[in-house]
Amino acid sequence: MNPDFVALLTHEILGHPSEADRVLGKEMAWAGGAWWSGKLNEKIGSDILNVFDDPTIKGTLGWYQYDDEGNKASRTNLVENGILSNHMQSRETAEIFHTKPTANMRATSYRYMPLIRMACTCIDKGDWKPEEMISEVKNGYLISNMKIPSIDMKRYNWSISCQFAQKIENGQVTDLLRDVIVLGTAPDFFKSIDACGNDFTIRPITNCGKGDPMQSMVMGNGGPSIRASATVRSV
């Protein structure tokens, strides 16, 4: 999966379920919950899966110095070596989880109540070159560029269409495919990740909606190329 596709995947199945209000079930009616509720400090992915949210990365749409509760922006490690280590926290949810707020409370404008929102949520880079990752695949697909997601309420079952895919046969990229959907379950997919590239990239997300009344927010999402197992269908 290339970094553009990984950006949307990170947004949908890592970023949203990391929002503590969803973990607590307070967003179930409008935006869903989180399948890993109650699983802090448990293994939810492979050893090389590291995920963070960082509003201090300048030049991204998620950059800011303080959130709307006055918390100073800093990096939050959400998944460390496959272990779920934290959620994005408000002052209120931080008390419930016995931790510190993570500077993720943001509102579209002064007219709205702040909500827990992603700033710049990413899968961290590894040390693989993308071509090295491909060279070891005997039978698979190179998935490129985000399109449309379809995710269940708890971010457990997911499917995301891509702009195009290419067949990989014996380490070589071959046939071009169109109208491709990639799908899986979050825990199985996370545990299958066996390579993260050194081509880390952050993409802009301009219209993430949450709350009632609905608030649209800008943010960054990203990551490197990753190699993992999922179901690929051409429709």
Question: How is residue 16 annotated by DSSP?
Answer: G
Per-residue pLDDT reduced to its tens digit, 139-194: 999 999 999 999 999 999 999 999 999 999 999 999 999 899 999 999 999 999 99
- Domain range for 153 is 3-234
CA atoms within 13 A on the CB side of 115: 25
Side chain identity at 113, as an amino acid letter?
M
Q: What per-residue confidence (pLDDT) applies to 29?
A: 61
Calculate what percentage of the chain has a pLDDT beyond 90: 93
- Tally of structural domains, the chain: 1
**Closest alpha carbon to 129 in 40, 194, 224:** 224
Provide the mean pLDDT of the chain. Answer: 95
Residue 223, sorted as left (phi over 0), alpha (psi -120 to 50) or beta, turns out to be: left
Per-residue pLDDT reduced to its tens digit, 65-89: 999 999 999 999 999 999 999 999 9
Q: What per-residue confidence (pLDDT) applies to 180?
A: 96
Q: What per-residue confidence (pLDDT) applies to 30?
A: 64
DSSP helix/strand/coil, 179: coil
Neighbours of 165 (CB within 10 A): 25
